[in-house]
Amino acid sequence: MRNTSKRCLGVIFFSVAVLLVLFHDWCPGSSSGVDIRSRQESTIKQLLDGKIHEITSAYNNITYHIKEEVACRLAQNVCVCLADEDTIKLPFSDLLNPRVWAHNLDTAFLESHPDPEGVKRHRAQEYSSFQRKSFIPADVLIVAEANSPLQYPTQGVEVRPLKTIIIPGLGLKEETKSNHMVSLTAKLGTFDVAATVDNVSVKGHGEQHMILSSPLLFALNRQLQFVTYRNTVFHPKTADTVKFETKGHQSYFTIKVGHGTIPKLYNSGYQREYNISALVTIATKTFLRYDKLKDLIDSIRQYYPTVTIVIADDNEHPQPVTGPHIEHYIMPFGKGWFAGRNLAVSQVTTKYVLWADDDFIFTANTKLEKMVDILEKTTLDLVGGAVREVTGYTATYRHKISVEEGGEEGDCLHIRKGYHHVIEGFPNCVVADAVINFFMGQTDKVQQVGFNPRLARSAHLEFFIDALGSLHIGSCSDVIVSHASKIKLPWGQTDDQKAYKKFRYSSSTADNNLHNEVFYFKNRFKCMTSN
């Protein structure tokens, strides 16, 4: 009797310990919240802008003379599209000197639109959202005020390939002497001045090395406000390291060379509330489970009757899947899991794509509006939900991923269960690096990462490993989809179910070797750890 009591107590204590561990994993309230709402401006940026204004306006009382041949190359932020004037056409003139044409997109699009002002407001709103999400604090202009005694920009200077900019923040702060001199040296561009200041000598106009000198320190500093940099070596994504020096002191700063990010905006219509049909496409892949696919579609239609569903199908004998707002794409037989994901996601034209396995079932708790809300209001690129099994257990599959440098032999991949922090304002949502197989993401961001089509039978974490550093990922436990029952008695299985099980759960040596190759060669890992 006593031994039985001890065993019972042991089982109770063990159960309590397990519950505590699970509660810690499940409950986002165990971590303090972090505000990741997207915002472009900040107190720090306003302070830095104020400092820049003080620096640039310090010598406004000193006269200068515009140097037109240089100043005309500077960006004016008032771009216009002008066509070449009509001239007398000669034979082959278009081949020898093609005529430039111009097309006013705003006029052509808006004049035929039933609500031009509404679409303009919607585009402005989308662009503002895009700017907030793409804003990176490292791009803010920061000027190191003279301590060396050189003053120069430490970050935030960027030039378009083969274009010209004024270098902001250059200055020299030193004791008065008979002559003050600085020099600039670059490798991928040349220097000049957009205006000249009296009593300042400038040598090296249009060259990679330029020397500026003056007996008047304030005049030299005024002249430095007009120094330009012109990129002369075309490279769409690089940086030039500029050496800025005076006698006894040297400093270096970088000028980023690159094209600006082209916005990718989605015209989903101006709405006060989220129009899920215009914002979200549901993507899935099916293989030997048409019965499950039908249940998924029926459940979606119960709550979202007009949302587009994109289906990738690699069955050997495909069956028609028809209905309103359904796109069914046939693939080569057995092409595979990630290849199907690539195909389905490639056909999405809405702002967001929701991935759902073909054996999921939507319920009243599958609120896609909640996923859209957090993606719209935060810097997240992708957010996962939760999957409820028939047993009642709800999984979120949250993981943290990190890569540790490992030298010549490769790096180390570390995967741990858990999440980084709770998201302020969304108490049921956290930030993680990998989430469950039910997620919504920005379509263009998901497409950029892509899915390795070589992974045909089993894969999931591989996508999130490829996305590390590219996607900001979250997980919300209050958006729940149900999972169809996997419990099938052996004597009750259909031929399709048996074939699916054989394909899905095969663990051949070739499959294992493929995963090892992907991690070792493609991702350059020498080892991985997980829990």
Q: How far is CA 153 from CA 58, 59, 319, 363, 510, in A?
A: 16, 18, 63, 55, 54
Residue 521, class by beta-carbon neighbours within 10 Å (0-12 exposed, 13-18 middle, 19+ buried)?
exposed
Alpha-carbon distance of 184 to 205, in angstroms, equals: 11
On whether the 276-530 domain is CATH 3.90.550.10, my answer is: yes
Q: 0.95 cut: is pTM over it?
A: no
Residue 309, class by beta-carbon neighbours within 10 Å (0-12 exposed, 13-18 middle, 19+ buried)?
buried
**Rg for the chain (alpha carbons), in Å?**
30
pLDDT number for residue 428: 95
Length of the chain: 531
Please answer whether residues 253 and 244 qualify as being in contact, where contact means their C-beta atoms are separated by less than 8 angstroms.
Answer: yes
- Give DSSP secondary structure letters for 41-76: --HHHHHHHHHHHHHHTTTTTS--EE-HHHHTTB--
**Strand ranges (E), 194-307:** 195-196, 201-203, 209-214, 227-231, 237-246, 249-258, 280-286
Where would I find the H helices in 325-434?
A: 337-346, 368-377
Residues of the chain with pLDDT under 70: 1-32, 36, 38-56, 77-81, 87-97, 99-101, 105, 135-139, 145-146, 486-510
Domain 47-72+137-258 sits in CATH at: 2.60.40
pLDDT number for residue 418: 94
pLDDT number for residue 17: 46
* Ranges in the chain annotated CATH 3.90.550.10: 276-530
User: 196 by DSSP, 3-state: which?
Assistant: strand
Query: Taking the mean position of all CA atoms in its chain, how far away is CA 350?
Result: 17
Alpha-carbon distance of 266 to 122, in angstroms, equals: 10
What are the tokens at 227? 């120094």
* pLDDT tens digit sequence for 205-235: 999 999 999 999 999 999 999 999 999 999 9
* Ranges in the chain annotated CATH 2.60.40: 47-72+137-258
